[in-house]
Structure 1
Amino acid sequence: MKILLIKMSSMGDIFHTFPAITDLKEKYPEVVIDWVVEEGFAEIAAWHPAIRRVIPIDLRRWMKQKNWSSWSAFRQWRKALKSEHYDCVIDAQGLLKSALVTRFASADTLHGYDKKSARESISSRFYSHTHAVSKEQHAVERTRQLFASIFSYTPPPALNFGINQNFARVQKDSRKLVFIIGTSWTTKLWSTAHWQTLAKIAVEQGYNLEIIWGSESERIIADQIMAVCPTANRPQQRLSITTIAEKLVEAAGVIGLDTGFSHLAGALETPTIALYGPTSPIKVGLIGAHTCNLQMENPLDCIPCHKRSCRLLPEHSSETPPCMTGILAVQVWNNLQQKLPDASGTDPSPRLS
């Protein structure tokens, strides 16, 4: 059976799809799976060994530019997609745009979430078969349940992202920690002062730190952390996703924000603490016993607001919102210690008070 999977973005959503693919391949080893994904995430989708072919789509650029060049590129992409026939197309995204993409494929059946289950209910009108999956579940489990409903099986209890074998050559460094300091929303950022305090604690406990950055503003924050912790380091240039993944596998532990790379660390089974303020980790947070979705100990009434600006701060403020400043470095460190056993199975560093 040949299957076309539609899950185009975002980075975290790509990782959330891996366990469902693993389940399906274990149940039906003969299936062939191709995956339509945004061009920027094609590198990631190809990591899963069950994926035969990644089909990049540049939908964001085409929709933004809306010129003849984009229209021509889209027509060529659509023609190439239709050149292969599939037994089944699965829209695991549940949006209008992803549902439209299912119609561009040549296939016997089109599957997706039903009206009450889809993120955008109108998407359900585009499928030949719809499936009821509770919205109250974590995104990982929703996708697993969608696949299980389509192919009539029960997902196994164990969660398997299925990508660790890509990085088997990377050796673990039990004294290395990675900080992921960047994210797409200003309101999701942790204060530089908190990062500096956490860095000092880690260095005092004998850890080596590497700070991952992806923009000029993040590079400046990394340098400010290094100014108080000279033994910490950062890459000189922006890294590829694969190179970052290797660093996350190598690390004993990772501290990050609500961002795709924190989800990647969790998918790679590295002990990971992800800090949450304006967004909720309940349905889209990190998953697995080796992870922790951390919020301030006494949450504000406005959490989660899911806003890119904080009503408690002046308009257009770039300050860290109270829901993030309320997460203390000592709190982060102590939670990390619970996930970070040493080779003997005991905590490598004392908890702080």
Structure 2
Amino acid sequence: MKILLIKMSSMGDIFHTFPAISDIKRNFLDAQIDWVVEDGFKEIVDWHPAIHKVIPIHLRRWVKQRNKKSWQEFKSWRSELRTENYDYIIDAQGLLKSALVAKCASGRSIDGYDKDSVREPISHWFYKRSHNIDKNQHAVERTRQLLGKVLGYTPVKKLNFGINQNFTHVQKDTHKLIFIIGTSWITKLWSTSEWQTLTKIAVDEGYSVEIMWGSLEERAIADQIIAFCPQATRPDQRLSITTIAEKLVGAAGVVGLDTGFSHLAGALETPTIALYGATSPIKVGLIGEHTQNLQLNTPLDCMPCHKRHCKWLPENSTSTPQCMSGIKANEVWQALQQKIFGEYTH
């Protein structure tokens, strides 16, 4: 049985799809699963042992450039894709762009979410079969149920992200913590002063702290934390996704924001606390017994706004919104310790 999965981005969405891939392999040992994904995430998809072939696509670049060269590259990519004939083509992303990519493939049919289950309802017109999946569920379960309905099985309760075996060579350091301070939206950032306080608490408790960064702005924040607590460290250069994964596996615990690397830490079953404010963890938060999504104890009326800019702050402000600054380092530390100690008492 040949299956083509369309789920092109983002990093967190890709990790959310891994349990569904494990489900397929549990039910169909001979399944050949190919996956269309944005080129920048090819490295991640390769981690799952059930994937037969990763098919990278440069859709973001092609759409941005919109020139003759991009069109020629797309046509060449489409021709290569059509050399394979699939029993099932599944659009697990549910967007117009992913539905159009699914139409590029050759196969018996295209499956996806129905118009009441999807973020962009127009996408369902491109499917031969569409499936009703409750929208009020976590993204992991929605994807698992979609693939289960398409292929005719019921997912088991226990999650299996299926990627830990790639990192069995990494030794756990029970006194090492990783802090993930960056994210794509300003409204998702936590106060630098709280990161400083949390780092000081961790160091005073005998832990070493390494701060991950991915941009010059994030590196500057890391340097502010280190200036406050010189025992903390950061990588000198940007690291590959695989190298960061190895650090996450080797850590005793992780604190992060609403970002793909926090989801990665959770998928790797490292005790992880993720902080949420402008976005809601109910449908796209970390999932699994090793994780906890932390918010204000008393949510604000405007939470979650799902906005890149806080309406209560001046335009272009880089200040931390109250929904995030109200989360205090002491409660984050307590939650992290509960997860870490719970991990070692199992």
* TM-score by shorter chain over 0.5: yes
Aligned AA (1:243): T
Aligned to 1:101: 101
Number of equivalenced pairs: 346
Aligned to 1:280: 280
Q: Does the 8 A contact of 2:176 with 2:251 survive in 1?
A: yes
CA distance in structure 2 between the aligned counterparts of 1:144 and 1:204, rounded to whole angstroms: 42
CA distance in structure 2 between the aligned counterparts of 1:129 and 1:269, rounded to whole angstroms: 35
1:203-253 residue CA offsets vs partner (Å, 9 max, x unmatched): 000000010000001011111111121111111000000000000000000
Q: How does 1:83-232 map to 2 (within 5 A)?
A: 83-232=83-232
Q: Does the 8 A contact of 1:274 with 1:292 survive in 2?
A: yes
- Describe the SS at the equivalent of 2:223: helix
CA distance in structure 1 between the aligned counterparts of 2:119 and 2:168, rounded to whole angstroms: 36
Q: Does the 8 A contact of 1:174 with 1:342 survive in 2?
A: no
Aligned to 1:38: 38
TM-score (norm 2): 0.98
CA distance in structure 1 between the aligned counterparts of 2:344 and 2:41, rounded to whole angstroms: 38
- Describe the SS at the equivalent of 1:341: helix
Aligned AA (1:320): T
CA distance in structure 1 between the aligned counterparts of 2:268 and 2:221, rounded to whole angstroms: 26
Q: Does the 8 A contact of 1:178 with 1:251 survive in 2?
A: yes
Q: Does the 8 A contact of 2:271 with 2:343 survive in 1?
A: no
Aligned to 1:330: 330
Q: Where does structure 1 differ by over 4 angstroms across 4 or more consecutive aligned residues?
A: none
Aligned to 1:291: 291
CA distance in structure 1 between the aligned counterparts of 2:105 and 2:151, rounded to whole angstroms: 20
1:127-163 residue CA offsets vs partner (Å, 9 max, x unmatched): 1111111001100000000011011111111100000
Stretch moving more, 336-345 or 223-232? 336-345
Deviation at 1:87, TM superposition (A): 1.0
CA distance in structure 1 between the aligned counterparts of 2:150 and 2:190, rounded to whole angstroms: 41
| Residue ranges of structure 2 left out of the alignment (5+ in a row) | none
Deviation at 1:344, TM superposition (A): 5.9
CA distance in structure 1 between the aligned counterparts of 2:310 and 2:130, rounded to whole angstroms: 38
Deviation at 1:337, TM superposition (A): 1.2
Aligned to 1:303: 303
Q: Does 1:27 align with 2:27?
A: yes
Aligned AA (1:30): D
Q: Does the 8 A contact of 2:290 with 2:343 survive in 1?
A: no
CA distance in structure 1 between the aligned counterparts of 2:342 and 2:275, rounded to whole angstroms: 23
Deviation at 1:85, TM superposition (A): 1.0
Identity between Structure 1 and Structure 2 (%): 68
- Describe the SS at the equivalent of 1:175: strand
| Residue ranges of structure 1 left out of the alignment (5+ in a row) | 347-353
Q: Does the 8 A contact of 1:182 with 1:218 survive in 2?
A: yes
Aligned to 2:7: 7
The alpha-carbon distance between structure 1 residues 314 and 151, as it changes in their structure 2 partners (threshold 3 A), is: same
1:294-324 residue CA offsets vs partner (Å, 9 max, x unmatched): 0111211101001111111111111111111
Deviation at 1:345, TM superposition (A): 2.3
CA distance in structure 2 between the aligned counterparts of 1:310 and 1:118, rounded to whole angstroms: 27
Q: Does the 8 A contact of 1:185 with 1:308 survive in 2?
A: yes
Aligned to 1:16: 16
Stretch moving more, 30-39 or 313-322? 313-322
Aligned AA (1:90): I
